[in-house]
Structure 1
Amino acid sequence: MKISEFLSPDFVFSSLAGTDKRTILEELSAPMSARLAGPLAGHLPEILLEREKLGSTGIGDGVAIPHGKLRGVQQLTGVFGRSAKGVDFGAIDGKPSFLFFALFAPENSAGIHLKALARISRLFKSPALRRAILDAEDAASIYSLIVEEDEKY
């Protein structure tokens, strides 16, 4: 599984404006909400927040991977965003998160969901990649960096 299979260039954002967990999750949910029809569309931030209640998805080193499973979603979809200021996301290292990779998975997709989480985690262990993304000029550059790094695996 390659990240480009579930992350498209138009779902990458170089400047999230949120200053807390809720507003970051709202921003990350917005493109997916626009894609979905019906009542579920407005509830995506709450679905991600419910998952956060089980434990923060802030994995440390400035990275968070909020995720949730959704009824009615047909395929795994990712949304990536960068925050220049950083946000207290309750990360395990106690430091702010700057890089956010949200995953929205079909309700009955445990295998693919876990594979995607593992792939993202492995990718973002690279300090060079994290630094390059923080320094990237725009969303297109961020997408290219992610895809190029992913090709190494």
Structure 2
Amino acid sequence: MRIADFLSPQAVVADMQARTKAEVLRELSATLVRAHPTLREDRLVAVLQEREKLGSTGIGEGVAIPHGKLAGMDSLQAAFCVSRTGVDFESIDGKPTHLFFALVAPENSAGVHLKALARISRLFKNPRFRAAILEAPSAADIHALIVQEDARP
């Protein structure tokens, strides 16, 4: 499984406008809906909010991976947004979060969901990669960087 299998270029935002955690979840959901019009934004927001109640998905180093499962989906879908200013996402390191990778999986897809989370987490551990994403000028450039980095062995 490659990230390009579930992250379309249309689901990438180079300069998100959200300034709060709630706004981030709404903007990620809206981004997913733009790329996949059959999804419902209100349901996506609810799923992501429900997961955040268990504990922040801000994994540190400026990265958060909000995620959840949604009934009626037939495949894994993702959105990726960059906040140039950073958002207090209650991250485990207490630092502002700049890189948001939302992942929504079909309700009965534990294996695929966990593999995708692990792959994303591994990718964003690389500080040079995170810096390159923050410096990328456009959504197309960001998507290309993610696909390129994910293709490395």
TM bucket normalised to smaller = over 0.9
- 2:95 and 2:8 map into 1 onto residues whose CA distance is 28
Verify the 8 A CA contact 2:16 2:81 in the aligned structure 1. yes
- SS of equivalent residue, structure 1 residue 51: helix
Identify the residue that residue 54 of structure 1 maps to in structure 2: 54
Q: Which of 41-50 and 82-91 deviates more?
A: 41-50
Identify the residue that residue 122 of structure 1 maps to in structure 2: 122
- SS of equivalent residue, structure 2 residue 85: strand
Identify the residue that residue 133 of structure 1 maps to in structure 2: 133
Verify the 8 A CA contact 2:12 2:31 in the aligned structure 1. no
Verify the 8 A CA contact 1:33 1:42 in the aligned structure 2. no
- 1:8 and 1:123 map into 2 onto residues whose CA distance is 17
Letter in 2 for 1:33: V
- 2:28 and 2:74 map into 1 onto residues whose CA distance is 18
Verify the 8 A CA contact 1:70 1:105 in the aligned structure 2. yes
Deviation at 1:28, TM superposition (A): 0.4
- 1:105 and 1:16 map into 2 onto residues whose CA distance is 23
Deviation at 1:36, TM superposition (A): 4.8
Deviation at 1:98, TM superposition (A): 0.1
Unaligned runs of 5+ in 2: none
- 1:31 and 1:88 map into 2 onto residues whose CA distance is 20
Deviation at 1:47, TM superposition (A): 1.2
Percent identity reads 57
Deviation at 1:43, TM superposition (A): 2.3
Q: Give the aligned CA root-mean-square deviation in angstroms.
A: 1.2
Letter in 1 for 2:58: G
Q: How does 1:61-76 map to 2 (within 5 A)?
A: 61-76=61-76
Normalising to structure 1: TM-score of the pair?
0.95
Identify the residue that residue 98 of structure 1 maps to in structure 2: 98
Deviation at 1:45, TM superposition (A): 1.1
Normalising to structure 2: TM-score of the pair?
0.95
Deviation at 1:37, TM superposition (A): 4.2
- SS of equivalent residue, structure 2 residue 152: coil
Deviations for 1:112-143, whole angstroms, at most 9, x for unmatched residues?
00000000000000000000000001000000
